[in-house]
Each structure stands twice: as C-alpha cells, then as structure tokens.
Structure 1
Amino acid sequence: MRVLLTCLPLYSHLVPAVIPAARALGRAGHQVAVATAPAMAGELGRAGIEHLPLPNVIDLARFLTDPAYTNLPGMPGAVTEAGGHRSAAAEPSVSRARSDPGEGVRAYAGPLARIFAEDLLDAAPRWQPDVIVRECNEFGGYLAAERLGLPQAVLDISPFSARNLPAVRDILNAQRAGLGLDTVDTPGRPDRTLLAALVPQQWYPDDIRLPSARSYRLDDTGPGAIALDPAFANLPDDRPLVLAGLGTVALQAIPEAPKLLELLVAALGELPCTGVVALGPGFDPADWTGPRPGNVRLTSFAPQPQLLHSADLFLSHGGFGGVREALRAGTPMAVLPLFGDQQDNADRVAELGLGTRLDPAVVDATSLAEACARLLDDPAPRHRAASMSRRMLACPGTEALAEDIAALA
C-alpha cells in the first residue's frame, strides 16, 4: 500500500508526530512519503523518509511575512481596517490570538490549503497514493483526497483545533467548490474516517470527542529517538529539575516571546531548582543577553522528550507537542499560553489537575517562581500526571496505527 502523509512546513508538526507515524507505516511494509514544503527536505532526509516536495508551498518565515497570509485576521502584521499594519506595541499579537484563537487557522484553510491541494493534485498521478493521512491543521490533503476519491485519516496533533472548524466552514466549502466538489455541513471534520489521537481520550472534553477517534502511543524508534545527549547526563541531583522553553514557532511568530523567555530564565533563577531552558534552534547561548542565573543551563535545543522523563516540572507556552510529551512522561506543567490552541491546552491542564495556567501578560519573575514552587511542593499534580502517563502508555502503539490506516484502503 502507498501512504502519503501531509504536513504543514513546521518542525513541531513534522518531527514529533508525522515522522514517527511515517516510520511505523514503513516498518509495516508500506511505501510511505511525506508531502510538504521543499524547506523540510533536511528533516525528512535525516529521518530517512521519502519527501514529496510541493514546490509552491512556503516555509514558516514566508508564511509570517507574505502579505497573502499576513493580511488575514489574526496573523502577525495583519492590515487594520484603516489600512495600516498593526504594530506589536500598538496591539500585541498575544492579545489578538487570545481574543479569537480561530483567526489564524483561516490562513491554513484558505490560500495555503488551496496551494497545497493544487500541488498534491499535480503530484498524485506520479506518486499514486492509496491513502492520504494528514495532520489536523493541514487542509490541502483533505481537499486533494476528496477530489481524488481517496480514503483519508487525520493525525490529531492539535485536538482543540477542532473547535476552530466552524470558523473555516465557508472557506473550506469555497475551496471544495473550486475543485468541483459539493459543499458539506462539516468540511474537514473526520466524522466517518479514522481520527488518530496521540493522547488518551480522557484529554478530550465532550464537545470535541468523535466516535471515529482512537488513541495511540506514538513510539519513535528512529535514529536519535531514544538516547539522551550525554551533555545532559550529569545535571545536579540534589534539587528538582525544571525544563522550560517556548518551542520552535512562538519565537518567530510572537513579538513578545523573547521577553517571555527572559522571564522564564529569571524565574527559574529564583527557585531552588536546576533549570534547563531551550532558547530555540540556532540560537547560540553565547549570544544570550538576558539573565544568566547560576542554576540555569541555557541551550539552543533541549532533548525534550527524554529530559521530561526525569523532570519535576515543565514550564512552557502550551504547544500540544510539548503537552503530549509531558503527559507521556507524567510531568506536571506550568503553562503560559500565547496563541492558537495553547489557550485550550492550558485550560485543560488546569481542569485535569495536571498543573496550572498562568497569564503571560501579567506574570512577573517572582509570581512565576512562586507558582512553580507551589507545583513542586504539591504532590497532587504529579499523582494525576502519573495517572495520565499510565493511560497513555496503555494505548496501542504505532503498529496498531499502521494496521488501522492500512484497513482504510
């Protein structure tokens, strides 16, 4: 069977979720490729996964600067009603995202989905997929599968993005019409196909649970997926370990993110802990001009999944990839949501007693340190996180995911 996976050109979507799924399908004997922007060729090459490059799909840097996308409501740099560009000082993008988390997804479902679908339809006769598996924020794969009449599955890398589907109903139906397809009531929602959840169903509130969902344990046995970098092996063992970072997208997309990163470092400096803070890929810690507490190690990239298994607390912006890894490790969380589904992720962490939600617009280093200290001193969040970890580890693994995807064809 030939399985084509589709993914937005984002490291945080591709590497932690789509690549492990692709490897599982390959181990099961299927021909597998990932269709995404040419900019992701390096990551796919390192993973040993065939890349189907879509020549007109842009990378993240252009997505954040091209007027075709930035002029959409909710995107950084969008044009105001008066015709001028918003500035971060006049109206912080964090506040815009918080006011309407569904706005940004319109860019994914609009011009980016159209270009993605057109490139996929051009490539399909050559690659001849039997099944298309898309990550939930990538809608071009949905449109192409509908146009080609192919079975499809959804890799649910962002569960709360389902709440944004009503906001893109008309946009997706317009795309369907452009491809000669009928309009439907709930475009993009996987009611009648496999929704591959990457966390236990207990994570999902009732309003986003679907009968088509099945949870899987997303193991990755690829190169570098298990061993911990020896540089982190000898961290101090006489105090709690707190891992912190803002992922790979926020530092490019949100103007306030660098200042928030400084706040995280300063707060950890006030805690009796060992802190490890990921500054972001390509950022040399030698160039860091913010605070440098003696108990905090600064690094450009932290092996997050591995370190979380020995961490006592995870301090982040609430991106679902990091939340999922903390759930698996049984690590409590302190979440400062910035945009998109991070608001809902932070709320769910608090609702389930897995940690706390904090407002990045009002917190300072002292109040953040105090909130982290309370979590470190309270055994209840760790007990609940451990319970969620057990549920996650009891889910069927990637071999079952491969079997269920194969069954679609």
Structure 2
Amino acid sequence: MRVALLTTTQHGHLNPYVPVVNALQTAGAEVDLLLLSADGGALDEQRREALGKARVHAVGQVEMAPWSGDPAKIGPMLRSSPVADETADVLRATAPDFVLVDSLPVTAAAMVGAHASGVPYGMIWANLGGVCPREHRRGRWLYDEQVGDYLTRHGVLWSTRTHSARSPILNLMPTIPALVGGDAVTDDGVQLVGLPGAAGTRGDEVTFPGLDRLDPDRPVVYVSFGTIFYRRPDLLRTVITGAAATGAQVIAAVGDLAEELALPDDVLTAPYLPQREVLERADMFITHGGYNSVAESVRAATPMLVIPLAVDQPVQAHFVGSAGFGTALAPADVTGQAVADAVTDLLDPARDYRARLRAAQPECGDAAARTAELVIDTVGTLQGQGER
C-alpha cells in the first residue's frame, strides 16, 4: 500500500505531519511526502531523518504574502499557478493508492492537481478552519470566496458553512470535542481524530539549558509567536514586559530579535525553544494562536492568552475562549497593563482554566496514529471495491 501526504514546508504544518508520516509507515504503508516550498523554505536534514524511509518530492512554490494582501489578486494568482499541474504530474508519476492533502487556502492549487490526477484523495487540516462556522471567519471571507470559486470550478467540493474544501471520501480534523464543542461543523463527514502533538520525534527538537535556571517559587509564563509571525518587536516587547511585571518568570522564543528587544535580564530567551518541554513547565502560555501551539498547550493543560495576528489564528482564539481554555486579546488592544491583567487572571486557580484543561486530557488521543488507521482502512475499502 502506498500513501502520499501533501503539505507545505512551514513548521506549523511539518510539525503535526511528520508523526503522521511515521504512523503510516509503522502501519505498513510506503509513504511519499509531497512538499510545497512556502516562501522558499526547504526540508532540513534533521527533519529529513525524522521522516524515516519516506520519499520526499518537491511539488512547487507558494508565497505567503499575497494571503495578507489584496484579496482580489488571489483568484488570478491561483488560476495562473503551475502548482496544480506540478502536483498532478508528481501524483501520476508516483502512483499512490491514496493522497492526503493538507487543506488550507495556500494549497488550493495542489488540491486541484490532486483532483485532476485521478488518485483518490482525502483532506486533513493543520488548523481549526475546517470545522469553524463561517461567522467566525469574517476577516477571511474575501479570500475564502476567491478560493471557493477556484476550487468549485475544478470540481473540488466546497463547504459554504465553513469556507473550506472537502473530500468526497475522507475528511480528518485533528481536534477534540472539548476544544471545538457543539459549535464545530462536522455533520458533513468530518471526523475528529484527537490532538496533534503527542510524544515522538518530529525533527525540530532542540535543547534549552535555561529550564534548569527557573525559580521554583515564581509562576512561569511562556511567550511565543511562532516561526513566521514573531517579527513584531514592539508587540513582542510589550507582551513580555507586561507578563514580567506580574512577577512571573518569563521564557520567550524570540527568533533573531533578542538584541533589538532589550529585555530585562531575568527574562529567558532563545531563538527557538523545545515547545512541548517548555509547556510542561509553564503555568500559562502567551501565543499567536497557531494551531500546533494551541494543541500542544491543551495537551500540557497550560492555559493560554491568545493574541491572534493573522490568517487562521482568530479561529483558534475563538475556540480557546469558548472552551474556557484561555482568553484572547486583539493585537490593537495589547498594552503592558492589558497583558498583566490577563496573565493575573489566567494564573488565578479560582478561574478554573487549568481544571478545564485537565478534564480534557482523556480526549487528547494521538491524531497521527488515528489518522494512519483511518487512511489504511479507507485504502483497504477502496481496493476492495475495485476488486468487485
């Protein structure tokens, strides 16, 4: 059995999908990883080793900037993109039994290529957009409408209730009921498969000796705006200093901004941190709301202050707030005092944030293992139908 998985080189997508590739291989499948290079990104050697025997194929380039620019340019950009043809060519050449496509607007041309290739395909998500009611995507409607028009013109199913693509065969959402609740749109065939972020190598592991210097008598606040959206030095400085003003010990992932931020000496920083390990030590997490970060915070039972900066992050902020796993603060409302007030609230045990997160732990499961199980079962069913 041969399975392909298509995603981008972004950390927020490789992080949850490296375990999926490995779970598929453990289940006995041969795996092809089809990678769209996002903003010129490439697969580093550490991640390549984490993928085991999976074959890696480049399927073209995508740029992130247009998705925060003029929405009217999205449709023409998709229609002129070579990615659809490149994807179809790679799938026809590798001839997998099934391809699982990372469903997000930037991969829309690749979805068209998967559809055109004739290979059976399913959809999987690396954010909560696939089950989010459209009213919580208002800021993305103009982009969504361009994507929906493009996909439907090429025969790809489109959910108008969530403004996202659908497969006629298999739709997998890596989340849990405790996070998305009854608000989630799942009655059109979307299956919840547990949270990403379970233990296991994924190729981004680093060490951080600073964890041994933490003061056990102070609460720990972890700050990270991810690997793409962190370049907001004024915002990041305000958030960190606001959190530190509460007396908490602050650990922050700051990329290459450490000197520019000029932070207090007792704030611990690094360009990139072992997030799962840090979250296990943290009492709360200030995040941009990338889904990988949100899911790992839920797993660690660490309450969140979500400051959504772009794209799908307001969707995650909505679900975190509605689940009672944390609060949200719009970037325009961020001041040192607002951050300090939110940190104080989230650290208050009487507010029950951590209790709600702990109650959700039995649901977390292993999204990678469950995804592999469902894909293998689906391929078996398809092959059985073909033999009759």
Give the alignment's TM-score, normalised by structure 2.
0.81
Per the alignment, in what secondary structure is the counterpart of residue 41 of structure 1? coil
Q: Which amino acid aligns with 2:68?
A: M
Q: Which amino acid aligns with 1:408?
A: T
Aligned to 1:215: 193
- Report the Cα distance in structure 2 between the residues aligned to 1:207 and 1:245, rounded to whole angstroms: 27
Equivalent positions of 1:3-402 (< 5 A) are 3-14=3-14, 16-37=15-36, 39-42=41-44, 44-48=47-51, 49-54=54-59, 56-58=60-62, 60=63, 63-64=64-65, 70=66, 75-76=68-69, 78=70, 103=71, 107=74, 111=78, 114-137=81-104, 138-161=107-130, 163=134, 168-174=147-153, 176=154, 182=155, 186=159, 189-190=165-166, 192-204=168-180, 205-210=182-187, 211-218=189-196, 219-222=198-201, 229-251=208-230, 257-280=232-255, 283=256, 285=258, 288-379=259-350, 380-392=352-364, 395=365, 398-402=368-372
Aligned to 1:94: none
Asked if the contact 1:6/1:36 (under 8 Å) is kept, the reply is yes
Q: How far is 1:115 from its partner? A: 2.8
Asked if the contact 2:173/2:192 (under 8 Å) is kept, the reply is yes
Pick closer, same or farther for the CA change 1:183–1:19 going to 2, 3 Å. closer
Q: Which amino acid aligns with 1:384?
A: R
Q: Which amino acid aligns with 2:7?
A: C
Q: Which amino acid aligns with 1:47?
A: A
CA deviations over 1:268-288 (Å, ceiling 9, x no partner)? 2212111111012xx163xx2
Q: How far is 1:223 from its partner? A: 6.2
Q: How far is 1:320 from its partner? A: 1.2
Pick closer, same or farther for the CA change 1:135–1:194 going to 2, 3 Å. same
CA deviations over 1:2-29 (Å, ceiling 9, x no partner)? 1111112312111x21111111111222
Q: How far is 1:350 from its partner? A: 1.6
Pick closer, same or farther for the CA change 1:51–1:224 going to 2, 3 Å. closer
- Report the Cα distance in structure 1 between the residues aligned to 2:35 and 2:282, rounded to whole angstroms: 34
Per the alignment, in what secondary structure is the counterpart of residue 8 of structure 2? coil
Q: How far is 1:307 from its partner? A: 1.2
Asked if the contact 1:198/1:216 (under 8 Å) is kept, the reply is yes
Per the alignment, in what secondary structure is the counterpart of residue 334 of structure 1? strand
- Report the Cα distance in structure 2 between the residues aligned to 1:50 and 1:325, rounded to whole angstroms: 27
Q: How far is 1:389 from its partner? A: 2.8
Pick closer, same or farther for the CA change 1:141–1:130 going to 2, 3 Å. farther
Q: How far is 1:207 from its partner? A: 4.8
- Report the Cα distance in structure 2 between the residues aligned to 1:270 and 1:304, rounded to whole angstroms: 23
Asked if the contact 1:354/1:384 (under 8 Å) is kept, the reply is yes
CA deviations over 1:291-338 (Å, ceiling 9, x no partner)? 412331111011111211221100011111111111111110011111
Asked if the contact 1:109/1:168 (under 8 Å) is kept, the reply is no
Pick closer, same or farther for the CA change 1:261–1:207 going to 2, 3 Å. same
Q: How far is 1:260 from its partner? A: 1.0
Q: How far is 1:347 from its partner? A: 2.0
Aligned to 1:405: 375
**Which blocks of at least 5 consecutive residues in structure 2 are unaligned?**
135-140, 380-388
CA deviations over 1:58-97 (Å, ceiling 9, x no partner)? 4x5xx43xxxxx3xxx524x4xxxxxxxxxxxxxxxxxxx
Per the alignment, in what secondary structure is the counterpart of residue 208 of structure 1? coil
Q: Which amino acid aligns with 1:203?
A: L
- Report the Cα distance in structure 1 between the residues aligned to 2:152 and 2:268, rounded to whole angstroms: 49
Q: Which amino acid aligns with 2:360?
A: M
Asked if the contact 1:200/1:391 (under 8 Å) is kept, the reply is yes
Q: Which amino acid aligns with 1:57?
A: Q
Pick closer, same or farther for the CA change 1:234–1:153 going to 2, 3 Å. farther
- Report the Cα distance in structure 1 between the residues aligned to 2:372 and 2:35, rounded to whole angstroms: 20
- Report the Cα distance in structure 1 between the residues aligned to 2:355 and 2:219, rounded to whole angstroms: 16
Q: How far is 1:365 from its partner? A: 1.0
**Which blocks of at least 5 consecutive residues in structure 1 are unaligned?**
65-69, 79-102, 177-181
- Report the Cα distance in structure 1 between the residues aligned to 2:290 and 2:79, rounded to whole angstroms: 21
Pick closer, same or farther for the CA change 1:225–1:388 going to 2, 3 Å. farther
Asked if the contact 1:196/1:216 (under 8 Å) is kept, the reply is no
Q: How far is 1:401 from its partner? A: 2.1
Q: How far is 1:241 from its partner? A: 0.9
Per the alignment, in what secondary structure is the counterpart of residue 139 of structure 1? helix
- Report the Cα distance in structure 1 between the residues aligned to 2:201 and 2:375, rounded to whole angstroms: 20
- Report the Cα distance in structure 1 between the residues aligned to 2:190 and 2:235, rounded to whole angstroms: 39
Per the alignment, in what secondary structure is the counterpart of residue 4 of structure 2? strand
Q: How far is 1:110 from its partner? A: 5.2
Asked if the contact 1:226/1:306 (under 8 Å) is kept, the reply is no
